[in-house]
Amino acid sequence: METSIDSKQKEYISRVKKLYSCIEEWLQGKSLSARRGQSEVNEEAPGRYTVPTLTILDEKGKEIAELQPIGAWVIGAEGRVDIVGVLDRDTLVYMETGGPQVSTRTSVATTGQKIGEQSRPLFKGVDQAGWYWIEDKRRGRAHLLDGRLFMDLVSEVSDYGV
């Protein structure tokens, strides 16, 4: 019998694989290629499990960047994958439409009477489910990952001119 933990883990791995398929399409016609691999993550809820990785290579086969799955159980998202290069690391998060919400409740301290409740999105720009890069955590700007943004992020983490 499949548990909610098993289901979330399988969904996360499926999303990561779909992300890699998109990246492989974005790399077509460029001087970069991709090589799939495997790694292991260890999260509190499911324990250790195998995840797919993706390494970005230049035309000579030199490693430029690697996509490293971090896990499905992350705060404020439904999964995380990092793009790691020699210079830096950028984070991609999977979010459902609307993204995570921040809720505040106002009440009278002495009586506990509720005065008001408000909810707003944690990030701006999460208009559809998908993988996002958070431009600025303080301003809460999220950008849906596409081919152009992905190439910019690879360049940023690796200093490779794509």
CATH of the domain at 62: 3.30.920
> Under a CB-based contact definition with an 8 Å cutoff, are residues 53 and 41 in contact?
no
- Summarised one tens digit per residue, pLDDT across range 24-81 is 999 999 999 999 999 999 999 899 999 999 999 999 999 999 999 999 999 889 999 9
Query: pTM, whole model, 2 decimals?
Result: 0.87
Q: How many domains does the chain have?
A: 1
Which token pair is 44?
């509190």
Q: Which helix (H) or strand (E) holds 72?
A: none
Residue 91 β-bridge partners: 82
- Summarised one tens digit per residue, pLDDT across range 85-142 is 999 999 999 999 988 888 887 777 777 777 778 888 888 889 999 999 998 767 778 9
- Domain containing residue 115: 4-158
Taking the CA atoms of 5, 9, 11 and 12 in sequence, report the sign of the dihedral they define.
positive
